[in-house]
Amino acid sequence: MTTRRELVARLSALVGPENVVYRAEDLIVYEFDGTIEKKLPHAVVFPLGAEQVAAVIRLCNTLGLPVTPRGAGTGLSGGSVPTRRGVVIGTSRMRRILEIDVENRLAVVEPGLPNIQLSEAAAAHGLFYAPDPSSQKACTIGGNVAENAGGPHCLALGVTTNHVLGVEVVTAAGEITWLGGRVPDAFGYDLRGAFIGSEGTLGIATRIVCRLLPLPATVITLLAIFDTVEQASTTVSAIIAAGMVPAAMEMMDRMTLQAAEAGLQCGYPADAGAVLLLELDGIDEVIATQAARARAECFERGASEVRTASTPAERELLWKGRKGAIGSLGRIAPNYYILDGVVPRSRLVEVMGRVSEISERYGLKCANVFHAGDGNLHPLLLFDERVPGATANVLEAGEEMMRACVDAGGSLTGEHGVGFEKQRFMPWLYSETDIENMSRIRRVFGNEGDFNPCKLLPAGTGCGETAHHAAAVRAAGPDAYV
């Protein structure tokens, strides 16, 4: 039996007392991420490098304590929620840009670096980092690696795994190693690829080699206004069928538009049924032709207006509305439950109809803002968790919506990850043999079940407070760790 006081003392000896959080009032902010799951950890540590991360992991393994990695806490699937309490290892104080190699178009960064700061630093050299989640100002590169994050501008360029060349990793066993390196297409098994998107179940990234791209010569941003979501959805497939793959193609429905406009005043038409935010980039002559073709496709499918951002400030304002839209929904309800499913573009209209039907049947307001170009849906169910039964109602509706995505030939996640939220849905897509083979990868990295437990793969029993755990705590006293 290890008391909390003893645990804090041993952690403090490894990383310094200023890098350990353990008082209940301080731990509250680490019991949740961007979704609705909550669990209070016993302690949170903030290592300052790979050696300290490894030392903390080895201590936790020796004591049999669950470990939960955490970046900025902006995740949207419960991935950084300490479902079995234990120790949270936060990477937010490891936030340096260690190198920008302009000649080879790469950067080496620490995991706690906010995503936007990498592109801001690279812009001085005419470069940028492509993955740009809506939480770009807050989310970290390390968290993006864990979740294989995407973003509005990933339609043509790919998500995080396409832009990370190598990762220094502290494994779940507490060993420090490199996966990949500074060049693309490294020989041998792609352990780098296996690690990216493993949702903190294999280890913690401590250094990341990011691929940088040259800033585009020309950018054209269009806002197409429609009366209905159906019109906007059919336009998405039509534009890509016409031979164009825009840098971004985002959709927002009326409820989202009204909230964003009320909160951010970005010039959106609040009375529209839906809008498509299109962005094309590249060589001037090519992009001008593509923009004209995209406008024609929008008008042919019912657009009432297609606006063009004429200045960088107007473009920035349009994207401010898109990236701040979710937060603006707090004007309508105190809580939201955001879903993340993927469907074939050709079935967008059908699945959006199912989403509307489900939300109406459950008596829920549902706002929609999503990456339309790759069929990545983000229905947001609005509710008040203080109302008895409201959370359970939302979770049931969300499960039906996820099932609708899978039944349409889609997937459980496009960018938010499976986490704790959707791990019980994995058998919808994978057999028992598939899941067992995935779990073997964890053991190769030293995860015997206590490293980010209850995430990604179906957990069975043992997640959360069991009756045995509660009884042991009562017997040992409030200062005990069990």
* Residue 185 pLDDT: 79
Average pLDDT value over all residues in the chain: 94
* Residue 460 pLDDT: 60
pLDDT category at 270 given cuts 50, 70, 90 is confident
Indicate whether 461 pLDDT > 60.
Answer: no
pLDDT, tens digit, 9 for 90 and up, residues 295-306: 999 999 999 999
CB of 345 closer than 8 Å to CB of 237 = yes
* Residue 184 pLDDT: 87
**For 373-399, what is the mean pLDDT?**
97
**For 197-226, what is the mean pLDDT?**
97
Q: β-strands 87-90, 248-253: how paired?
A: unpaired
**For 369-378, what is the mean pLDDT?**
94
Contacts of 211 (CB under 8 A, 6+ apart): 105, 106, 129, 162, 163, 164, 165, 184
pLDDT category at 468 given cuts 50, 70, 90 is very low
* Residue 2 pLDDT: 84
Is 350 buried (19+), middle (13-18) or exposed (0-12) by CB count in 10 A? Answer: middle
**For 20-42, what is the mean pLDDT?**
96
pLDDT, tens digit, 9 for 90 and up, residues 327-366: 999 999 999 999 999 999 999 999 999 999 999 999 999 9
Contacts of 192 (CB under 8 A, 6+ apart): 164, 165, 166, 167, 179, 180, 186
pLDDT category at 477 given cuts 50, 70, 90 is very low
pLDDT category at 269 given cuts 50, 70, 90 is very high
Three-state secondary structure of 277-292 = EEEEEECHHHHHHHHH
Indicate whether 478 pLDDT > 60.
Answer: no
Task: Write phi, then psi, for 106 (nearest 5 degrees).
Answer: -150, 160
Closest to 393 measured CA to CA, from 345, 359, 368, 418: 359
Indicate whether 479 pLDDT > 80.
Answer: no
Indicate whether 464 pLDDT > 60.
Answer: no
Indicate whether 219 pLDDT > 60.
Answer: yes
pLDDT, tens digit, 9 for 90 and up, residues 61-73: 999 999 999 999 9
Q: β-strands 176-180, 164-171: how paired?
A: antiparallel
Indicate whether 275 pLDDT > 90.
Answer: yes
pLDDT, tens digit, 9 for 90 and up, residues 168-189: 999 999 999 999 999 987 788 9
* Residue 462 pLDDT: 57
H helices of 169-253, in order, are 191-195, 229-241
pLDDT category at 459 given cuts 50, 70, 90 is confident
Give the percent of the chain with pLDDT over 70.
95
Among 2-6, 105-109, 320-324, name the most confident range: 105-109
pLDDT, tens digit, 9 for 90 and up, residues 391-434: 999 999 999 999 999 999 999 999 999 999 999 999 999 999 99
Of 466 and 348, which is predicted with more confidence? Answer: 348
The structure's pTM equals 0.93
Indicate whether 223 pLDDT > 70.
Answer: yes
Measured CA distances, 112 to 46, 246, 413, 415 (Å): 10, 30, 24, 19
Give the percent of the chain with pLDDT over 90.
93
Indicate whether 154 pLDDT > 90.
Answer: yes
- Residue 390 has a CB neighbour count (10 Å cut-off) of 17
Domains by residue range for the chain, with CATH: 2-91+443-481 (3.30.43.10), 97-214 (3.30.465.10), 218-326 (3.30.70.2190), 333-420 (3.30.70.2740)
